[in-house]
Amino acid sequence: MNKVPIKYGSTRHDYQDFLKKLNSIIWDEDLDADEFDGKWLEIMAQHDVGDVEWFTECYSKRRQWVMAHCKDLKMGAIMRTTQRSESENRFFKRFEHKSGTLVEFLMRFESAMEQQRHNQKRLDNENRQSNPKLSSKMALESDAARVYTHNMFEEFQHELKYSTNTFSCKGLIVLDNIEVSTVQDSGRNRNFEVKFNPGTLQASCSCRLFERKGLLCSHVIWIYCGNGVKKLPECGVARRWTKDAYRGIECSFHGPEFVDVDSIDTKQLEMTKLWSEVHETIGILGGKEKEDIQNLTNLIREFKEKLCPSSEELSKEEELEKLLGCKASKEITIPPPKISKNKGSGKRIVSSKSKAIAIASKPKRMCKNCKQMAHHDKRNCPNPFAERPPALFTVKTIGCFLVLTFDKRLPEI
């Protein structure tokens, strides 16, 4: 959308009208493929830009997104083509450098993983130790605050508030114990079809918000409230947005504690027990003599020597060969790849519009030559003789004599 002013022309009298219509169909997630085709062709015909190649390419790319959106691809329809690579580049850019070695990359990668683990534990602690603020006394909202994380509960709360005053039912049909309701959304000026099964409490809406994002839409919430549902059903909750999405083993000094674990790893359980024994033993040694601490240290070192026998110091090449599990070949058969110009490399050509914006954003200063506030100075002034009157002669004092010097730049007669 940033290129629309250049491709269409921001100086045209109908530019604002064209931009408003184009935004209405580009950012509308409720349009299906047929509606998108009809409205796009109508806008292109009204403003006579159907033959422009750039708009044709935009139409094909956007239509592919709409087709994926209509197929109910879970979490895939809202992802752009380059979103995954851009996210990876933004994350690893802080920890790697083009001149770094492989070992440095592994160390920085581990630091990045540690940062993610720290943020995960911090958010888990906030979700467990605090409760979000409720906006109503509805049982459905209270149950959502118990199930969802704080960030997702805010989005659920937004959908709940939106459904209270803007909806009305235009029709109800019962087909094979499934209630098909037509919900009129006055805020979007559209009608949505909601299918609801009173037995299993399973509901689906034509807006497909749950299939795309894993969150109940305001239309389904309105149907739930109308049918007296006070607790979110399991089929209407995506586990990835709940507080129990990350479940594992918690280690403490008094032994392992399991928090809602489905399957327990035996090795991880034994490691947790070992850590508990180590912490308990160190606590006991706090009241013992120095010899007991030295005896335990010697036992640990002997056991460590059995597990990992000490070896001679290795060179850098030998350490890499041991890490990779193979020896370096003396004959180079694979040359380094050619440097390719990928997206983001090289220098971008700055347009004249960007140059003008950059110059206009700079503060003006006084030119000592033309005595005006401008973006130039005395050295690059476009009018070098602006305020300099032609001097006919100059007078100098040398001792007790006055010397009169005529200027060569005499005005023409």
Euclidean distance between CA atoms 206 and 193, whole angstroms = 5
Across all residues in the chain, what is the average pLDDT? 76
pLDDT reported for residue 190: 80
Strands 249-252 and 255-258: antiparallel
The secondary structure of 267-291 as a DSSP string is HHHHHHHHHHHHHHHHHHHTTS-HH
pLDDT reported for residue 270: 81
Give 47 or 297, the one with higher predicted confidence.
297
Quick one: CA dihedral 48, 51, 56, 59, positive or negative?
positive
pLDDT reported for residue 5: 73
Q: Residue 123 in contact with residue 149, Cβ under 8 Å?
A: yes
**Whether pTM exceeds 0.75:** no
Share of the chain above pLDDT 90, in %: 1
Q: Which residues, other chains included, contact 145 with Cβ-Cβ below 8 Å and sequence gap of 6+?
A: 131, 132, 134, 153
User: Does position 32 have pLDDT exceeding 70, yes or no?
Assistant: no
Give 405 or 253, the one with higher predicted confidence.
405
User: Does position 251 have pLDDT exceeding 80, yes or no?
Assistant: no
pLDDT reported for residue 74: 45
pLDDT reported for residue 1: 63
pLDDT reported for residue 263: 47
357-372 pLDDT, tens digit per residue, is 888 888 988 888 888 8
**Mean pLDDT computed over 323-334:** 80
Least reliable range by pLDDT among 7-21, 139-153, 224-238, 260-274: 260-274
Buried b (16+ CB within 10 A) or exposed e, 336-349: eeeeeeeeeeeeee
pLDDT reported for residue 313: 66
Give 221 or 108, the one with higher predicted confidence.
221
What are the distances in angstroms from CA 84 to CA 90, 91, 344? 10, 11, 15
pLDDT reported for residue 27: 67
Least reliable range by pLDDT among 31-35, 94-98, 167-171: 31-35
**Mean pLDDT computed over 20-46:** 73
pLDDT reported for residue 67: 60
Longest dimension (CA), the chain: 122
What are the distances in angstroms from CA 207 to CA 32, 96, 195, 285? 10, 42, 12, 65
291-319 pLDDT, tens digit per residue, is 888 888 888 888 888 887 665 567 778 87
pLDDT reported for residue 391: 53
- Taking the CA of residue 155 as centre, how many other CA atoms within 13 Å lie in the half-sphere pointing to its CB? 13
pLDDT reported for residue 250: 47
Position of tokens 């149907």? 223
Share of the chain above pLDDT 70, in %: 75
3-state helix, strand, coil in the chain (%, to 5): 45, 15, 40
pLDDT reported for residue 75: 44
User: Does position 249 have pLDDT exceeding 50, yes or no?
Assistant: no
Beta strands in 217-320 (DSSP E): 249-252, 255-258
Quick one: CA dihedral 148, 154, 156, 160, positive or negative?
positive
User: Does position 198 have pLDDT exceeding 70, yes or no?
Assistant: yes
pLDDT reported for residue 382: 85
Euclidean distance between CA atoms 44 and 4, whole angstroms = 13
pLDDT reported for residue 344: 63
Give 260 or 312, the one with higher predicted confidence.
312
User: Does position 6 have pLDDT exceeding 80, yes or no?
Assistant: no
Model confidence at 346, pLDDT cuts 50, 70, 90, reads low
- Taking the CA of residue 236 as centre, how many other CA atoms within 13 Å lie in the half-sphere pointing to its CB? 26
- Cα 261 to its chain centre, rounded Å, is 31
Pick from 49, 81, 33, 64: nearest CA to 22: 49
pLDDT reported for residue 31: 64
pLDDT reported for residue 117: 85
Q: Residue 261 in contact with residue 247, Cβ under 8 Å?
A: yes
Euclidean distance between CA atoms 375 and 269, whole angstroms = 71
The secondary structure of 338-390 as a DSSP string is PP---TT-S-PPPPHHHHHHHHHHSPPEE-TTT--EES--STT-S-TTSS-PP
Neighbours of 102 (CB within 10 A): 10
pLDDT reported for residue 413: 43
pLDDT reported for residue 315: 77
Residue 199 DSSP code: T
Tokens of 38: 């009809």
